[in-house]
Amino acid sequence: MSLKDITLGRYVYGESLLHNLDPRTKLLCLLFVTIGLFAGNGWYSIGLAVFYAVTACLLSGLHLSYIFRSLIPFRWLIIMTFL
């Protein structure tokens, strides 16, 4: 596996609502979600973070296959985290 296979976090050109937002707005939203995730406890806060992530993926206009392919290099980390 090379670094070319890891697409998570890379910029993908697009003309969606999220792509056109000001970068400061995106960073501020990321800060609020991160604080909410670490300040919350239990499944409710995790469910809310998943909801925000799915909503962001849908608003970005990226195909779900692209998003899931970008998670493949991290599959063992994700599995071990849930275990």
3-state SS, one letter per residue, for 7-68: CCCCCCCCCCHHHHCCHHHHHHHHHHHHHHHHHCCCHHHHHHHHHHHHHHHHHHCCCHHHHH
* Residue that is written with structure tokens 């925000």 in the block: 52
Question: Is the confidence at residue 53, as pLDDT, over 60?
Answer: yes
What integer pLDDT is reported at residue 7 of this predicted model?
A: 67
Mean pLDDT of 59-82: 83
What integer pLDDT is reported at residue 25 of this predicted model?
A: 93
What integer pLDDT is reported at residue 8 of this predicted model?
A: 65
Question: Is the confidence at residue 3, as pLDDT, over 70?
Answer: no
What integer pLDDT is reported at residue 45 of this predicted model?
A: 81
